[in-house]
Structure formats: C-alpha cells, structure tokens
Amino acid sequence: MSQTLLWRSLRLCMAAAALASAGGVLAQSLPAPVEAALARAQIPRESVSFYVAPVEGRKPVRMAWQAATPMNPASVMKLVTTYAALEQLGPTYVWRTPVYLDGVVDKGAFRGTVYIKGAGDPKLVSERLWLMLGRLQGMGVKVIVGDIVIDRTAFQVNGHDPAAFDGEPFRPYNAGPDALLVNYKTQVLGFIPDLAAGVARIHYELPMGQLQSPASVLLAPQGTACGDWRTQLQADWSDPQRIQLGGRYPASCGDKNWPVALPDPNSFALKAVEGMWRNMGGQITGSVRDGVVPPGLKPAWENQSPALAEVVRDINKFSNNVMTQQVLLTMGKERLGSGSFEAGRTALSQWWQMRWPVADMPVVENGAGLSRSARISAQALGRMLQAAWASSVMPEFVSSMPISGMDGTLRRSKASANAHLKTGSLRDTNALGGYVLGNSGQRYVLVAMVNHANAGAARPVMDALVDWVAQD
C-alpha cells in the first residue's frame, strides 16, 4: 500500500471514530434485548435514536445510536422547558395575581369595579380561585354593585385553536394558555349512580356562570357494560352556553370523572369567576367581562401561586401541556418583557446558546412537545441532562420526573430499574428521557426516541432499554 493510500485509510478510520463518538450509527450495535423488542414491535432500527452515558460528562458514552439525529421527542421536550425555567427563574419563583378595588365598601356592598389582573399563574385551580374571591367576602362584601373586570394582557396568545393539533378541541391536553388560566381551562364532570332514582347525579368541580348544566343523566338499562361510557353519554358541545347529554350512563361504571375542555375557551375564566362568586353566595349587579386595569390603580392584595418547583413537578409527573406553555410564556415575559411564544422561545434559545453548541439547538415550538415540528437530538438532550445533574437545581428537576413503576406517567411501567424518567407519546412518536441507577451504583442519563408508525407499540422497547442500562 502506498503512503498516500495509507494516510487516506487512516483518515477514514479517524472519521469513522469521530462519527461514532458523536453518536452516529457506527457507534455500536444495539443491545440484544432492545433489538429483540424492536423486532417484535416491527420498528426498524433506522427509526430510533438512543443515548446512554454516565451523569458525569467526563466519562465515556456507554451507548449511542443515531444520537445526533434530531427527532420529535413529544412530551419529553418538557424537560428542556422546565430545566430552562428552573435555571432562569429559580425554583422559588412565584406568580402574583393582583386584585384591584376601584370603589368603596358600603354596608355589605362594594360599589365600583373589581379588577383581577392575570399574571400567568399555571395553578389557579378551583380551590385557589375560591380563596381569592373569599378575601373580598372576608371584607364583608356580599354584593358587587358594578363589574368584575379580568385583565389578561400579560400574555399575547390570541387566536389559539384547540382543534388545530388533532381535531379534538374538547380534550384537556389541547387547552390553550391564558394570563388568567383557571383550573387548566378544564371542567370535570363527576358521575355518581343513584340506582333508586334511576339516574347518575352529576357533580361539577368548578361552578360556571352563564352555562346551563344538567344535574343528572338517566342510567342505562340494567346490565349494560361500562365500555366506552363517554360515547354512551352522547354529549353535545355545540352550544357554548349549555352542556347537553342525550345518552345514558351505565351504572356498572360506578363513580367516574370526565375532564372536559369546554367550548368557547376564551370565556372560560369569565364564566368561572362569575360562577364561583355566585356559588359562594355573592351577588353582582353588572357583569364579568374582559378589560384593562386603569393606570395608577394600586392593588388591594395579591394572590401568590405555589413555587415554580411545585409547578414543574406537576408538569413532569403528569405531563401537563398548558402548564408548560404558561411557563414558556412566563420566561418570555420575565426575560424579554413580552408574554408571547416568540419571546419565550427566544429566551430559551438565548439560555441554550450560553451552554451548548448552537448546532444542537432544539426546536421547541410551544415548549410542551404537543407538536409535529418539535425536534431535538438524543445527544443534545443527554448532554443537557448531564448538566442538570451537576446544577444547583438538580434536586427540584430530578424529583419532578415520574419514578418508574411508582407514580405519574410511569406508574404502570414494567421496567424493574430504579429510574426517574419523563415519558412522551404522540401518534408516530414514543420517547423517554431522564436518569437510571445502575446495579453498580453508577447513574446514567438515558434518552430514547422512536419516530415511526408503530411507535405506539414501543413501550416494551423502552422497558428493555431501561433494564439493560441498569444491568451494568
């Protein structure tokens, strides 16, 4: 062999080695249990991406397969958004929702206008709305002679279409963000069979004003299987002012809850505030409407949210999409002065550029992974997880992830390993990311993504990979 050919061969070998270390297909073959699980699921190796490495970034990568290829991570993208928020806002960050009183209290009545300025609180659930309005009643106010005005100008999110993603506008996971997000823009219908009366009583988690809601629905004939009980109810959501149930409820189902994102989501906060106020025994002579707090008006009090660390735990444990979007918008508002998705993405991009190569920049879109265009490589996410392990917010970040076989979206996992992992799934996408404790005591970052028509059958693949990582 000539010297020239020899040098060419050496350069090719060096290039192959570099590709392998960067996570290319040449890195190594897949573990046998993972190969077998992929074959059973009929998922080709070309449709998956894996990255496994010790949490200490200085140690060699244990396994990389197409790890530099950007893929759709589904809800695993929430790890990027929540870690960025913990670092940029801090785990103790809270949202403050001010209430303004433009008027006077007079003999059990407030004469004037009550303003509530939404600040993006992701966890303004029904109980906390009750406490907010209870503060006013604690001042002796039973009647508002005037209006309640909701100021939602903190976020610029007009035009959200809950049907745009998959044509399912009434599914809670499609709820859009809101500066005054009440109860995740979700009503929960609770069905309780009353055999003696022949009906199922309906309990509503959140009282709603300007919305007619049936108190009960007839029971199905005795012996009717529970089956697809939601379809059997024959719900009609076409009228935003009325919930209509034309079917029957099978008594064999027992007690069931049905979370629903109601039609006309832009009016959800208005109906919720009015409904809660009246449910508490309050009266109002005017209306609950959108508006803006007058300049110079000072807040009477502020309602404080739980800390960001608690919000992040809810997001990652239960994969809450709208809470994640609230966090991304908040990053835009706090870092760049604009509560828009564009500003949120810019704030996240600036944070990423300071830490990792621009070439590895994720495409986050809404930050929640509820997207067909979101992209990140397994290698980039794995390196982020390594950095997170060494960061000051590691305890809050790691504890936010579901524990395999115990809670959150991993409570039914069949993997036997000790692991904290975030799941993600969409049509044609299945993903997993987080930390696995090896039998040796070594802890690893793990990222796995499947983008294929058979991704719905990939759970055994993920379980096999997690167990292989643990068996080090």
Q: What is the pLDDT of residue 9?
A: 41
Partners of 53 in beta bridges? 445
Give residue 351's region: left, alpha or beta (phi > 0; psi -120 to 50).
alpha
Question: Strands, E, within 330-472: which ranges?
Answer: 418-426, 429-437, 443-451
Burial of 303 (0-12, 13-18, 19+ CB in 10 A): buried
Q: What is the mean pLDDT of the chain?
A: 93
Q: Which two tokens stand for residue 120?
A: 């993006």
Q: What is the pLDDT of residue 28?
A: 59
Q: What is the pLDDT of residue 368?
A: 98
- DSSP per-residue codes, 63-125: EEESTTS-B--GGGGHHHHHHHHHHHH-TT---EEEEEEEEEEETTEEEEEEEEE----TTB-
Neighbour tally for 398: CB within 10 Å? 16
Q: How far apart are CA 269 and CA 88, in angstroms?
A: 29
Q: How far apart are CA 122 and CA 203, in angstroms?
A: 24
Q: Tokens 């704030």 — which residue? A: 347
Question: Which ranges constitute the DSSP H helices of 158-294?
Answer: 229-232, 268-279
Q: What is the pLDDT of residues 307-347, one digit of tens each?
A: 999 999 999 999 999 999 999 999 999 999 999 999 999 99
Domains in the chain, start-ordered, CATH in brackets? 22-92+308-470 (3.40.710.10), 96-161+267-304 (3.50.80.20), 187-260 (no CATH)
Q: How far apart are CA 60 and CA 422, in angstroms?
A: 24
Which residues of the chain have a pLDDT value below 50?
A: 1-27
Closest C-alpha among 321, 411, 438 to residue 77:
321
| Bridging pattern class, strands 443-451 and 48-54 | antiparallel
Q: What is the pLDDT of residue 275?
A: 98
Q: What is the pLDDT of residue 20?
A: 40
Neighbour tally for 214: CB within 10 Å? 13
Q: What is the pLDDT of residue 16?
A: 38
Give residue 354's region: left, alpha or beta (phi > 0; psi -120 to 50).
alpha
Q: How far apart are CA 91 and CA 396, in angstroms?
A: 7
Neighbour tally for 223: CB within 10 Å? 8
Q: What is the pLDDT of residues 156-187, one digit of tens each?
A: 998 889 999 999 999 999 999 999 999 999 99
Q: How far apart are CA 67 and CA 52, in angstroms?
A: 9
Is residue 319 within 8 Å of residue 171, measured between CB atoms? no
For the CA atoms of 443, 393, 94, 158, the dihedral, rounded to the nearest 10 degrees, stands at: -70
